Structure formats: structure tokens, C-alpha cells
Structure 1
């Protein structure tokens, strides 16, 4: 039996599934017996609108809580709309540490790099590995703090590994600044509850819209 919207998390991501609860699904089924195509259209629109609503609110809340540009959070959110014949929409959220350079506009200073409200003493902003510049620090620097460079392991002479890169054959190992998103895990439950309530609200609106269309059609007939 359907239990409504639900979520699950892994070490690197979270996934919220949007679907009607058992009671709501029964009411929907009763209406669908009368006008099946209209009911299906109403449900599809309601779930897809809820996905869009949830994506916007999660991006806004995480951005505000973690001091991250909203566009950077939205890049970690991926909505999967309802497909034909299905009753579920999904919202995927990658919660691996986010490169600090993507949380705002990095600025190089004499003492290090600043981006938003974060300061990385002794760091530098440049293109070291890949096609884009990032915020790096030598691990031997007195300013190095492991908490500012999460999810990293020292790389060997073979090259980069999990955010670290060996420079000059590992004589000067570097770490890439990242921002942990672990604090968002406890929020998945509250987001899912809010999505459930929002889905019911929108579903009622969409069903009413379809019902009014159906009644107007019958009146003309």
C-alpha cells in the first residue's frame, strides 16, 4: 500500500520520491473511473509542479543555510518528471562535498582566497588540474585545515585522487577546498513531509480544474 512521498539517502546523495498517499490515491481512483484521462493529466501536472516547487525551496534553504550560491545548489538537484503510465516523480540531490570555488565568486587576496563568507588562509585560486580554476592549498602549509578540504585523500605520484593532486611528483601535494553538505541530511524528512502536503494541495487544484472542464463540456452537450 502506498505510504505517500518518501526519501532515502546514500553516502553521496539523497532521493525524494513524490507520490500520493493511500487515502489520496483512493480518492483519485474514484475520480479516474469517471474521467480517467483527465484524472491522469491532473496527477501528472500535480507531481511535476511539486517537483519544481521542491527543487526551488531546497535550493533556497540549502543556499541560505550553507552560504552557497543558489545556482550551485540547483546544479546538484535533478528532477525526474512523471512518465506516461507512472505515478511517481523523483528529485535527486547530490550531497558529496561541493567545490568551494562554485559556492560564490572567489577572490584572491594576499592572505589567501575568499568566497562568500568563507576565508581560506594560505590558499590560491588557479587552474591546476582540469579546465577550471579551483581553490587550492599546499598540505604542508601552516594554514591547512582538514575541515576545509573534506572528502580528500593524499594522492601519490600517479596523479589526482578525491580532490587532491600531486604537484611536481608529490613533493608539494595540494588539497582542493570543498564545502561539506552533510548537514542537509536531517532536512530530507521535513522536505518530504512538506512535499506531501504541497502535492495534495496542487492535486486538488488540478482535479478541480479537470472537473470544471468536464462539467462545462457536459453542459455544452
Structure 2
């Protein structure tokens, strides 16, 4: 039985499932019985449009709250539109820490690096691995603050783990600046409720559109 849209939050990601509740479907039962294919098409379009709306508004809200470029948040959102016979769409959101260099335009200064209103004293902006520059700091620096480098835990004096890179040798380990997205976790429930409201609004429009097409066709017979 369809319970409508809902959310699931895990360690590094959250999933929003968008679907029409059984109660809402009853409101359009006559059309569904009369022209089931048209009703299914309306439902599919409504869910997919709601996914697009949700992705846009979540990206804007998170970008504004966390002071992160909207494009960077959108890269963490992945839509799975309705496919096949399953009348449900999904929106995946990766909420593990985001590289600070993606929050906006990073600027190197003598004191460190600034980006999107954040300042990382003692840090430097350069390519260490891969083709993209990131914000790094030597862990031995007096300016190193673990709060600015989440998801970066060293297991031993010589070990290297998530977020930590040893430049040339273990003598000079580096930490990559990242931004925690933990603050978005409480919002998943409200996002799923907003999705339900928006889905019903669009579904009414799409069902009416299909009904008008059907009635127009019958008048021609």
C-alpha cells in the first residue's frame, strides 16, 4: 500500500522516495478506471516533475544554509525518474563532507586560503593528486584545526587514512579542507512532506490535462 513520499537517511547519504499515496490516487479513481494509460502517464509526469522541483529547491536551500555554491550541492543530488512499471521516483543526496574548494572560488593569500566566506589559515590551494586543485594544510601547522578538516582521521604517526595525504613521505602529512553536511540531516522529513504537497498539486494539473484530452477526443467521435 502506497504511503506517499518518504525519506531514509544513512551514514553518508539520504534518499527521498517520491510516490503518490493510495489516498490521493482514490481522488482520481474515475479517470484511472476510464483511461488507465492516461492516468499512468499523468502520474509518471507528476512524479518526475516533482523530482526536478525538489532537486532545485534542496540545492538552493542547502547552498544558502551552508554557504556553498548551488552547483556544488546539485552535484551531490542524483535523480532516478520513474522507469518501467514502478510508479516511484528517487532523489539521492550524498551528505558526506564536501571539499571546501568546491564551495566557491578559492583565493590564495599570504595568510592562507579563503572560499565562500570561510578562511583557512596556514592552508594552501594547489593540485596534490588528480587534476583538480584543493585546499590543503600540513597537519603539523599551528593553524591546523580538525573542525575545518572533517572526515580526516589519522590512525597512526605513519598511517594515512580518509582525507589525509602524505606529500612525498610520511614526514609531512596533509589534510584536505572539507565542509560537513551533517546539518542537513534533520531536513529530510520536511523535504519529503514538501514533495508530497508539490506532487499532489502537479498531479491534479496532469490528470486534468489527460481528462481534457480524453473529453476532446470523445467529442470528435
Deviation (angstroms), 1:146 = 0.4
TM-score (norm 2): 0.96
Deviation (angstroms), 1:155 = 6.8
1:142 aligns with 142
1:183 and 2:183 are equivalent in the alignment? yes
2:172 aligns with 172
- Aligned residue for 2:218, secondary structure, equals helix
- Cα distance between partner residues in 1 of 2:84 and 2:209: 20
1:212 and 2:212 are equivalent in the alignment? yes
2:37 aligns with 37
- Cα distance between partner residues in 2 of 1:51 and 1:168: 45
- Aligned residue for 1:186, secondary structure, equals helix
2:79 aligns with 79
- Cα distance between partner residues in 1 of 2:212 and 2:162: 56
Deviation (angstroms), 1:84 = 2.2
CA contact (8 A) 1:156 1:170 kept: no
- Cα distance between partner residues in 1 of 2:159 and 2:132: 17
- Aligned residue for 1:185, secondary structure, equals helix
Deviation (angstroms), 1:21 = 1.3
CA contact (8 A) 2:16 2:92 kept: yes
2:100 aligns with 100
Deviation (angstroms), 1:156 = 6.8
CA contact (8 A) 2:166 2:172 kept: yes
1:65 and 2:32 are equivalent in the alignment? no
TM-score (norm 1): 0.96
2:88 aligns with 88
Q: Number of paired residues?
A: 221
- Aligned residue for 2:83, secondary structure, equals coil
Q: Which residues of structure 1 form unaligned runs of 5+?
A: none
CA contact (8 A) 2:31 2:211 kept: no
Q: Flag as ranges the 4+ runs of structure 1 deviating above 4 A.
A: 155-160
Deviation (angstroms), 1:30 = 3.7
Deviation (angstroms), 1:129 = 1.7
CA contact (8 A) 1:159 1:165 kept: no
- Cα distance between partner residues in 2 of 1:98 and 1:56: 18
Q: Which residues of structure 2 form unaligned runs of 5+?
A: none
Offset from partner CA, 1:111-146 (integer Å, 9 cap, x none)? 000001000000000011222110000111111110
